[in-house]
């Protein structure tokens, strides 16, 4: 019947609806539970900055992937990217930074996860006690890296112009040391090492001050000697006919002075201000007489000469006596002789001997008794 069919359909459909609703509710609860099991709250610290993030997945790598964080070989992740992560866990990420360190002129590159210069120095074990840095120790090290100059204190022996002192410096090179001490390098100055030479503790740097000066002074110019033959002199005899006179010249020198002391000179110019006068010497050409001159006064002058000098007109006694009759120069001059007796002819020597005899007698000679032979 039509009415009975509707009631029956109603009675049958209600339990089915309740079952369907129960099944749907069970699925909803199960789905919610499953969703809750994958959603985790994690404290993520990246380069010191902490934030709480919600992430799906079971590992640290999943958390990082959810946050769009990619790590490389120089980065640090704790725990390991493969480690399981649970709700409430902490994950720490430190990105690597490249530090370009110039230590006293020596360049070296490092990788560090430190966030500040001071932390990086400690992490890398760089000896920097008392060192001078190109940036503040609190300077942040960005992910792009940082250039760092690190200069240690060095005791340098500095010798300037001959004066030595010990200097403590942070300069990296010889040139920086000179600039630091406000020492200018002159055109001729000598530096013991090139300006680009790195400094090291205990090193000696020498700066010699060099200058050049022009100096002029007057000097004598030696006179030349010319010889002229003379028939009035025996062979082997000479006599100055004209005395020479020295000239004068002005010489300009380039004098090199190192640290205030002369170190050498070079003659640049020579100007003669007075010409020298040549000395003329007469040279005898006459054949000497083989016989001793006779005095013509009855005295035996030949015997005296033979005893005094062996008859040699040019005889020289080391005691200071000269010629046939062994005159001293003083006695020779007192009887009118000039120059040296050995330069006079035998006749001239006899003449002066006779004058001496007339004044003082034969006692003037040790051999004077031979005058009476």
Contact 240, 279 (CB under 8 A): yes
Q: Do 324 and 256 fall within a single domain?
A: no
Element of type H or E holding 30 = helix 2-38
* pLDDT score for 30: 40
Q: What would the pLDDT profile of 106-150 be if each residue is shown by its tens digit?
A: 888 999 999 999 889 888 888 777 788 888 889 889 889 899 988
Distances (CA, A) of 312 to 15, 152, 323: 179, 92, 7
Q: Which residues make Cβ contacts (< 8 Å) with residue 307, sequence separation at least 6? A: 367, 370
Q: Do 203 and 220 fall within a single domain?
A: no
- In this structure, what CATH number is given to the domain that contains residue 168? 3.10.20
Q: Of 169, 185, 208, which marks where a domain is finished?
A: 208
**Based on the number of CB atoms within 10 Å of its own CB, is 189 exposed (0-12), middle (13-18) or buried (19 or more)?**
middle
- In this structure, what CATH number is given to the domain that contains residue 275? 2.20.230.10
* pLDDT score for 292: 57
Q: Do 146 and 161 fall within a single domain?
A: no
Q: Do 300 and 366 fall within a single domain?
A: yes
Q: What would the pLDDT profile of 180-201 be if each residue is shown by its tens digit?
A: 999 999 999 999 999 999 999 9
**Based on the number of CB atoms within 10 Å of its own CB, is 371 exposed (0-12), middle (13-18) or buried (19 or more)?**
buried
Q: Do 298 and 358 fall within a single domain?
A: yes
Contact 264, 256 (CB under 8 A): yes
Total domains present in the chain: 6
Q: Do 138 and 173 fall within a single domain?
A: no
Residue positions counted in the chain? 373
Q: Which domain holds residue 203?
A: 154-208
In three-state secondary structure terms, 354 is helix
Q: Do 130 and 72 fall within a single domain?
A: no
Of 70-74, 124-128, 259-263, 294-298, which range is least confident?
Answer: 294-298
Q: Do 361 and 316 fall within a single domain?
A: yes
Q: Look-up: residue for tokens 């006079």? A: 344
Q: Do 165 and 139 fall within a single domain?
A: no
With cut-offs at 50, 70 and 90, classify the pLDDT of residue 247: very high
Closest CA to 99 of 72, 121, 69, 76: 121
Inform me whether the pLDDT recorded for 1 exceeds 50.
no
């Amino acid at each position: 019947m039509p009415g009975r069919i509707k009631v029956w359909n109603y009675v049958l459909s209600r339990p089915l609806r309740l079952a369907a609703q129960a099944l749907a509710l069970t699925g909803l609860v199960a789905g919610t539970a499953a969703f809750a099991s994958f959603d985790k709250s994690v404290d993520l610290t990246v380069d010191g900055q902490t934030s709480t993030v919600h992430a799906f997945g079971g590992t640290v790598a999943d958390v990082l992937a959810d946050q769009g964080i990619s790590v490389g070989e120089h980065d640090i992740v704790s725990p390991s990217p493969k480690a399981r992560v649970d709700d409430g866990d902490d994950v720490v990420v430190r990105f690597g930074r490249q530090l370009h360190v110039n230590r006293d002129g020596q360049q070296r590159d490092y990788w560090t996860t430190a966030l500040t210069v001071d932390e990086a120095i400690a992490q890398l074990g760089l000896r920097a006690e008392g060192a001078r840095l190109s940036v503040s120790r609190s300077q942040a090290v960005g992910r792009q890296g940082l250039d760092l100059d690190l200069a240690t204190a060095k005791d340098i022996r500095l010798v300037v112009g001959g004066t030595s002192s010990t200097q403590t410096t942070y300069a990296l090179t010889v040139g920086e040391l000179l600039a630091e001490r406000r020492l200018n390098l002159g055109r001729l100055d000598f530096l013991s090492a090139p300006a680009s030479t790195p400094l090291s503790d205990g090193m000696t740097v020498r700066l010699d001050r060099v200058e050049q000066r022009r100096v002029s002074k007057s000097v004598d110019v030696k006179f030349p000697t010319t010889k002229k033959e003379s028939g009035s002199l025996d062979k082997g005899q000479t006599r100055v006919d004209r005395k020479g006179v020295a000239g004068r010249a002005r010489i300009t020198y380039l004098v090199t002075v190192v640290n205030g002391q002369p170190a050498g000179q070079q003659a640049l110019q020579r100007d003669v201000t007075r010409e020298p006068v040549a000395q003329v010497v007469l040279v005898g050409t006459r054949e000497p007489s083989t016989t001793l001159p006779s005095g013509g006064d009855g005295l035996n002058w030949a015997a005296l000469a033979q005893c005094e000098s062996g008859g040699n007109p040019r005889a020289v006694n080391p005691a200071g006596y000269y010629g046939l009759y062994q005159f001293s120069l003083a006695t020779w001059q007192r009887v009118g002789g000039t120059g040296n007796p050995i330069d006079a002819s035998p006749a001239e020597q006899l003449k002066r001997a006779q004058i001496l005899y007339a004044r003082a007698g034969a006692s003037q000679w040790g051999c004077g008794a031979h005058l009476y032979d």
